[in-house]
Amino acid sequence: MEHEHVRGVDPAVADALEGEIDRQRETLQMIASENHVSRAVLDAQSSVLTNKYAEGYPGERYYGGCEFADEVERLAIDRATELFGAEHVNVQPHSGTQANQAVYFAMLEPGDKVLSLDLTHGGHLSHGHPANFTGQLYEVEQYEVDPETGYLDYEGLADHAEEFDPDIVVSGYSAYPREVEWERIQEAADSVDALHLADIAHITGLVAAGVHPSPVGVADFVTGSTHKTIRAGRGGIVMCDEEYADDIDAAVFPGGQGGPLMHNVAGKAVGFGEALESEFEEYAERTVANAKALGETLADHGFELVSGGTDNHLVLADLRPSHPDTTGGDAEEALEEAGIVLNGNTVPGETRSAFNPSGIRAGTPGLTTRGFDEEDMAVVGDCIARVIDSPEDRDVIDEVREEVADLCEANPLYESD
């Protein structure tokens, strides 16, 4: 990836782009929400569709010259429909947050009530954080995971819904390692006549591949990001039943956005097409197997995993019992020096802060895309444990950095130009 055209006019940006490619190639990307898209998706996203205004929807645009934009958007919609089985799909949201925004804007009035998961327990900013528009426009209360087990407290959620009488219940999480029982949340929502938004941002790819139960057909609305476990490039998606289709479309455009990012819609079309291939299912299964292998290795090294393990693509370790003097931030920093990129994360029962939390979150989608298997993950887990055991030991960091380089070389990224 030479970026020769950028280099010709802008060496500073070209240097940064090349630096980023090298960084992704030479270090382990274990941020649970990140992944590596294919060259085909990259190509589609950097296409001339970035030049095109296509406000409206296929066949009903506000601008001329949209025949190819229409074709691309129809392909993205058809493939998403086939992948997820939803009655209606909107592929225009610029991101997962914009997808959620569309649902709130379509269905709620300011002052309406939102019941969502506590952010420190794995919820997302766009589910009612005070700094987000959701926290400022709506009345928000939050449910929790069971402090003993780390699993969602479905009964507590139902009781909370009974007391609070929300207009919408939001499920789907950023740092929850277990399978979500959508039906139980839908039941709780139904029993108080609330809507249910299932935000599958993190697990969109796992749901598409059938390795996590799907909320489509259960929840009233399903939203997602298209760049996390599904490798369709940066963006968002909303799915719903036909009865809400017009309201959702109007809430995306013109409600919350102007022209769609058609180059990203093209990326979605290509990425969704790839996700329909049988290799994608193998990738998704391997992603989960890799997360389990990583979790087991960390547990063998004495780490305490929230919920005791994982059913999906991520593990969340609470460092307080095993490493009381090391914060998630300290661990993140030392690991980055060793070439392992993940993030410090809050944990249930957090006693520190979001800026310097007590846990680390590690995901396997990116490494799985590179070809890592369970044996590799045992090596990676061992590296993580050694660094966190001695976060200030230069020798350990240098040693691990070399092992990371070997792993990267054995599992190359974006190799064929």
Annotated binding site for (6S)-5,6,7,8-tetrahydrofolate: 119, 123-125, 242, 353-355
Regarding beta strands 343-345 and 359-363, do their DSSP bridges make them parallel or antiparallel, or are they unpaired? antiparallel
CB 236 within 8 A of CB 226: yes
Q: Which residue is nearest to ligand PLP (CB)?
A: 96
CA–CA gap between residue 173 and residue 170 (Å, rounded): 9
In terms of CB distance, is 33 or 214 closer to ligand PLP?
A: 33
Question: What ranges in 191-308 are assigned the alpha helix state H?
Answer: 204-208, 245-250, 262-275, 278-300
Least Å from the CB of residue 63 to ligand PLP: 26
In terms of CB distance, is 173 or 330 closer to ligand PLP?
A: 173
Return residues touching ligand PLP (CB under 6 A).
33, 95-97, 124, 126, 172-174, 199, 201-202, 225, 236
Least Å from the CB of residue 173 to ligand PLP: 5
Least Å from the CB of residue 124 to ligand PLP: 4
Report the Cα 110 to chain-centroid distance in Å: 27
In terms of CB distance, is 201 or 261 closer to ligand PLP?
A: 201
In terms of CB distance, is 170 or 340 closer to ligand PLP?
A: 170
In terms of CB distance, is 226 or 411 closer to ligand PLP?
A: 226
Regarding beta strands 139-143 and 113-117, do their DSSP bridges make them parallel or antiparallel, or are they unpaired? parallel
Q: What angle (nearest 5°) sits at the alpha carbon of residue 246, between those of residues 109 and 47?
A: 105
Least Å from the CB of residue 30 to ligand PLP: 16
In terms of CB distance, is 176 or 372 closer to ligand PLP?
A: 176
Least Å from the CB of residue 365 to ligand PLP: 12
CA–CA gap between residue 348 and residue 298 (Å, rounded): 19
Least Å from the CB of residue 234 to ligand PLP: 7
**Helical (H) or strand (E) element with 225:** strand 221-225
